[in-house]
Structures are given as C-alpha cells and as structure tokens.
Amino acid sequence: MNKTTRVVPSILVLTAVVAIWWAVVAATKSVIFPTPWQVITGTLELARDGTLWEHIGASLFRVGAGFGLAVLVAIPLGLWMGRVHGAFITLNPLFQILRPISPIAWIPIAILWFGVGNASPIYLIFIASVFPMIVQTTAGVHTIEKRYLRAADNFGVSRKKLFLQVVFPATLPQIIVGMRVGLGVAWLVVVAAEMIALHSGLGYLIIDSRNAGNRYDLVIAGMIIIGLIGLALDGIMRMLEGMKIVRWRYAH
C-alpha cells in the first residue's frame, strides 16, 4: 500500500466530520457556534494581521525551551540511574512520587516562584516532560542484554566508551519514546498554562476569543491549529524513531 492510498481513509473521515459539523450547525440555525467556513475566514483574519503567527511562535518558543531543558537533564540522569544501582534506588522513589502529579497542579507554584511571564510555562513544560524521559531512559538501560556489557568488560572498554558506544546506542530507542511522550505532554501543558497565566500563545488566543465577544470561530480555529501542530510534532518524533541509528539496537 503506497502513501497516497494510506491517507485516503483519513481524508474521507475528516471530510465526513466537516460535512456533519456544517449540517448540524445549519440545521440548528446556531448564531454562536461557527460553521467550518466561518472558522476558515476567522483563521485568515488572524493570519493577515500577523496575530496568529505571534501566538504560534510564542507557544512553540515556550515548548522548545522547556522541552530542551528537560532533554538536557533527563537523558544524562536516566543513563546514570540505569547504570548506578545506588542512584536508582535513591532517586527512583522520588521520581515515582512526583511523576503522577498533574503538571496543571504546579501552576500556582510556578506563578508564585516565577511570576506571570515566560518562565512559568517553561518551568511547567520542564516538569511535565522531564519525568517520562527519565523513567523511559532508565528502563532502556535496564533492558540492555548483559552479554554486551560483559563483552565490553572483557575487551577492557573504558567507562566513557561503554556509555558512548554501548549503553547510549542501546538505550536510544527508549529515549526517543520518552521524548515523544514528553513532547506530547509538554504541548498540552503549554496550552493550559497560557489560558491561565499569560497574554500570548494559542491557549491565550482561545480564552481571549471566548471572553472578547464570543468569537467561537477563533476558539475552534485555535483548537484545530493546536491539533495540527501537535500532529506535526509527533510526526517529527516518529521520524526520529525511523532513523537507522535508532533501529540498530541492543535492547530487547
């Protein structure tokens, strides 16, 4: 099955959803809920005056900063915990306690510590994405076949080479999975944070459109754009999973 054939069912489903949406709005004669065409015209209105791109850029910046910091912390920490048993038994209970806490619950603390600005959502994104990557990276190290580690010891491989040439390549597939999960959560969190504590971004666009004259065409437009960007970000992570260096793995 070629790529064109694979996307046909999805296009048909999306077309049916839009048609049903339009028919329901027309049948109910709703004066508030928009038709698909009104959503399109509202989106074009924001795009022409540049507002849309400002909101998208603000959200992507916050996600990029918070997620990037989480990657820098989570991957080395996860590799260390996976290889050093003492670090694992010391830190793992703490992370398992913090991990189930909803990132939204951290919003009051983020505002208290960092105020209303970019630092708060960046902190929330960091908190939301760092724990899945730590857990997944640690689990990846634990699944490496012991014979590869023993072979490296037999050949007198240094600790640095062991990490760079055995442990990291073997764990990379699990790292990418953790990054994919963390990025998805980060994108959810930034939208929620922008609805509460900021004056820019796609989350703010949605709540402001609702409050400023019931512009539900812009509310729906913001929701659709959030979904499309989330799909694109997930697609990037899936492309990383398809790289040769990731497909070549030692882990089970």
Could you report the per-residue pLDDT of 197-248, keeping only the tens digit for each?
678 888 888 888 888 777 888 889 999 999 999 999 888 888 877 766 665 5
User: Which residue carries 């600790």 as its tokens?
Assistant: 159
pLDDT of residue 5 exceeding 80: no
Q: What confidence category does residue 63 fall into, taking pLDDT thresholds of 50, 70 and 90?
A: very high
pLDDT in tens, 157-192: 777 777 777 777 888 888 888 888 889 888 988 888
On whether residue 122 sits in a domain, the answer given is yes
pLDDT of residue 49: 87
Question: Could you tell me if residue 32 is inside a domain?
Answer: no
103 domain-assigned: yes
> What's the CATH number where 60 sits?
1.10.3720.10
Question: Phi-psi category of 28—alpha, beta or left, where left has phi over 0 and alpha has psi -120 to 50?
Answer: alpha
pLDDT tops 60 at residue 251: no
Q: Contact at 8 Å (CB) between 215 and 42?
A: yes
Mean pLDDT of 71-79: 93
In a domain, 17, yes or no: no
| The pLDDT of residue 28 | 85
Note whether residue 15 is domain-resident: no
Structure tokens at 48: 């022409």
139 is in which domain, residue-wise?
42-247
- Percentage with pLDDT > 70 across the chain: 93
pTM, full prediction: 0.83
Assigned domain for 131 exists = yes
Tally of domains in the chain = 1
pLDDT above 90: residue 67: yes
Asked whether residue 85 is domain-assigned, the answer is yes
pLDDT (tens digit per residue) in 92-128: 899 888 888 888 888 888 888 888 788 888 999 999 9
Question: How far is the C-alpha of 125 from the C-alpha of 118, rounded, in Å?
Answer: 11
Distance, in Å, from the CA atom of 174 to the CA atom of 161, rounded to the nearest integer, reads 20
147 lies in a domain?
yes
